[in-house]
Amino acid sequence: LPDLLDIIGQGRAIAQLQQAIASSRMPHAFLFTGPDGVGRQSTATALAKILLCCQPTITNRSQLRQAGRLTELAEDFPVKQACGVCPDCKMMDTAGHPDFNLVHKELARYHEDASVRGRVMQELGIDVIDSFLITPAGRSPARQRGKVFVVREADLMSDAAQNSLLKTLEEPPPGVVIILLAEQAQQMLATTVSRCRRVEFGPLPVAFVKDRLVSSGQAAGEADFWAAFTAGSLGRALQLSQQGMYEIKRDMVLRLAGMGGDSAELGEPLAKAMDKLADSALRSAKQTSGVEMSKNLASRQAAGAMIELIASAYLDALHLRTGLAGPIGQPAVVNVDQMQEIQTLSQKFTNRQLAEIIEQLSQYEQLLWRNVNPKIVWDNLVITCSTAAELRI
Ligand SMILES: [Zn+2]
């Protein structure tokens, strides 16, 4: 379990948290927003460890063992850390502290009511929030320090769940701290957001993600690609690369660059790849959360990821033609490991054609989430890519 100060690339957020826990009126509800896989949950867990530690230490910022960290704070700022050796710290490290609670939508599977257990887990419903947050928050802590609740995908909370949680967010029982994790706050009720101390997490530096991927055993070319493709989300880069997606992507970009007008040339291998991805997503969901994911959801997610990969090649080609820079802090070309293919793609189309293909692909991605059959989306996508190839100049 990483300590708060071991979390890299989120200095501003960590400094904000240190300021919050040092203040005499520490907030009891936090909202961590930012992309997936940049360290929100690790940070929440590390914060919980400090809050539950029975003998936390205080060190002036300039004397920290992790020299040079948190320069956002004054040199003599009293930085709080978990001791790492007390029984509470030991329990946190072994993922078994009785006063630490992770709340997520898959908990519906463990609800005492069978009808809740059977429900499709698209949202984080009121039953889960009541049974796994509001009710246990009202009980006394098992140890002396208090209780911490971390709510994953809090932006998927239904309005009813959020309304039911308002009172607890406003005035939690003594010693209770609630940390909501969300990608964006816009989807949530303003009343929920306004009751929380907001802490924003940005994407990680691409070079940092690449280094981590290389040290986890990836070849440099593959690591370059995933770090750029996920725009600094280490968690997502690790997840996608473990699903065997890299070989699929290489093959796909190769086909796109060399493709003629025959849609079967693209269609069949891609349909196969999508099935493989969906299966692998099903397996990994089972492994990481012990929960069955629906085949339908897995197929949609796999198709979404594939469309995103295909779009990245066309976007790269457009960037190459126009000399446009990438988003702030991100490289302009994502498929740096296949520059020759991207070069070929960029010579095949006009700027306008590329922009149209990209727009079309993004519409297909949205259709997937409006319950359109992935098969239909897929057929259309193949037509878009192959028709565009016929239009080549
Ligand atoms: Zn401790």
The pLDDT assigned to 270 comes to 77
> What's the CA-to-centroid distance between 92 and ligand 1, angstroms?
9
For every residue of 124-170, which 3-state class applies, written as one string?
ECHHHHHHHHHHHHHCCCCCCCCEEEEECCHHHECHHHHHHHHHHHH
> What are the residues whose beta carbons fall under 8 Å from the beta carbon of 12, sequence distance 6 or more?
72, 200, 202
Say how many Å lie between the CA of residue 90 and the centre of ligand 1: 7
Give the distance (Å) from ligand 1 centre to CA of residue 126. Answer: 34
> What percent of the chain is helix, strand and coil (3-state, nearest 5)?
60, 10, 35
Q: Are 178 and 168 in contact (CB under 8 A)?
A: yes
- Could you tell me the distance, in angstroms and rounded to a whole number, from the CA of residue 23 to the centre of ligand 1? 20
User: pTM, whole model, 2 decimals?
Assistant: 0.77
**How far from the centroid of its chain's Cα atoms is residue 112's Cα?**
29
Q: How far is the CA of 82 from the centre of ligand 1 (A)?
A: 5
* Residue 45 CA to ligand 1 centre (angstroms): 14
Q: What is the pLDDT of residue 262?
A: 58
Determine the distance separating the centroid of ligand 1 and the alpha carbon of 233, expressed in angstroms: 30
CA 322–ligand 1 middle distance (angstroms)? 55
pLDDT level of residue 391 (50, 70, 90 thresholds): very low
pLDDT tens by residue, 2-53: 889 888 889 999 999 999 999 888 999 999 999 888 999 999 999 999 999 9
Residue 113 Cα, ligand 1 centroid: separation in angstroms? Answer: 37
In terms of pLDDT, which residue wins out, 54 or 68?
54
One-letter amino acid of 15: A
pLDDT, residue 293, reads 66
Span 119-170, pLDDT tens digits: 656 789 999 999 999 999 999 999 988 999 999 999 999 999 999 999 999 9
Rounded to the nearest angstrom, the distance between the alpha carbon of 85 and the centre of ligand 1 is 5
All residues at 6 or more sequence positions from 308 whose CB lies less than 8 Å from its CB, including other chains: 365
Tell me the CA–centroid distance for residue 88 and ligand 1, in Å. Answer: 6
Q: Whole-number mean pLDDT of the chain?
A: 86
Q: What is the CA(210)–ligand 1 centre distance, in A?
A: 33
At residue 289, the pLDDT reads: 57
Tens-digit pLDDT profile for residues 219-271? 999 999 999 999 888 888 888 887 778 988 998 898 888 855 555 677 777 77
Please check whether residue 273 is in contact with residue 309, taking contact to mean a CB–CB distance below 8 angstroms: no
- DSSP β-bridge partners for residue 81: 57
152 CA distance to ligand 1 middle (Å): 24
- Segment 303-354, tens digit of pLDDT: 888 889 999 999 999 999 887 666 555 567 899 999 999 999 999 889 998 9
- Residue 393: its pLDDT value, please? 36
Tokens of 371: 């319950």
Res 172 pLDDT > 90: yes
CB 118 within 8 A of CB 107: no
User: Lowest-pLDDT range, 187-196, 228-237, 271-280, 360-369?
Assistant: 271-280
Cα–ligand 1 centroid distance for 304 (angstroms): 43
Higher pLDDT pick, 2 / 77: 77
